[in-house]
Amino acid sequence: MQLIGLTGGIGSGKSTASRYFENLGCAIIDADVIAHKVVEPGSKAWKEIVKNFGQEVLLPSQQINRQLLGSMVFSDPGKRKILNQCTHPYIRREMMLQILWNFLQGKKFVILDSPLLFESKLTKWMKKVIVVYCSEQQQVDRIVKRNNFTEDEAKQRITSQMSLSEKRSMADYVIDNSGTLEHTRLQVVDLHQKIRALSHYHGLHLWILIATLFILLLFVLLLLL
């Protein structure tokens, strides 16, 4: 089974591309969904967050106030590092469990959707990396509209991550999400075909290798008889 990394930046449209891949039947491991799951009230990560940031980061429901916590850590690299230490070990463990589950199901490839694919050094495990790209101004405009942030708050979120241009330079494939949704969808369809062909080729290559080794082993056994 091959791992295909899908990443981008906040507001770049990564989630849109991920949804299109999912609509095509691809198995998706979504780091954002996992990040929400591991901080459910009472979980180990939740307890570590409360311990390090205090009860004020909790809503009356005891859920983490993600907007408040985000405003605290995105302006402070030290606090952001502490938050990552609270959550990343549990996120990675859940990712590994989901990868194992998909492997046992016989999936030929799985898409790992993560905004911090490069920053978390996960690219070394990926067969190919896809970056969803748009201009920084488009990122700002989308974040302001979606999250009701000011432009300064949006730019703060963007600069807390590796720049999209840097990610783009290290990608195997780039999805240009600066145009229409249909343009993005068609790029996803094209990439889906390429990834399927790649996984099919490598799958055949593996079976040919296994068959060759089996024949050689059988030949050796016959010589020994």
pLDDT tens-digit readout, 101-145? 888 888 889 999 999 899 888 898 899 999 999 999 999 999 999
- Distance in angstroms (rounded) separating the CA atoms of residues 50 and 69: 11
The pLDDT score that the predictor gives to residue 34 is 95
**Domain extent at residue 101:** 2-224
- The proportion of the chain whose per-residue pLDDT surpasses 90, expressed as a percent, equals 60
What CATH number does the domain containing 219 carry? 3.40.50.300
The pLDDT score that the predictor gives to residue 210 is 53
The pLDDT score that the predictor gives to residue 56 is 93
The pLDDT score that the predictor gives to residue 219 is 53
Residue 51's pLDDT band, with cuts at 50, 70 and 90, is very high
The pLDDT score that the predictor gives to residue 180 is 94
The pLDDT score that the predictor gives to residue 214 is 58
CA-wise closest residue to 113 among 204, 5, 20, 221: 5
Which residues lie closer than 8 Å to 112 by C-beta, 6 or more apart? 3, 4, 5, 6, 29, 31, 95, 99, 122, 126
- Distance in angstroms (rounded) separating the CA atoms of residues 158 and 202: 37
Residue 202's pLDDT band, with cuts at 50, 70 and 90, is low
Please check the confidence at residue 83 and state whether its pLDDT lies above 90.
yes
Tally of domains in the chain: 1
The pLDDT score that the predictor gives to residue 70 is 85
Please check the confidence at residue 213 and state whether its pLDDT lies above 60.
no
Please check the confidence at residue 153 and state whether its pLDDT lies above 70.
yes
The pLDDT score that the predictor gives to residue 170 is 95
- Across 135-144, 177-186, 191-200, least confident range: 191-200
Average pLDDT, rounded, for the chain: 87
The pLDDT score that the predictor gives to residue 108 is 86
Q: For residue 25, what are the CA distances in angstroms to 18, 94, 102, 174, 225? A: 11, 21, 13, 20, 50
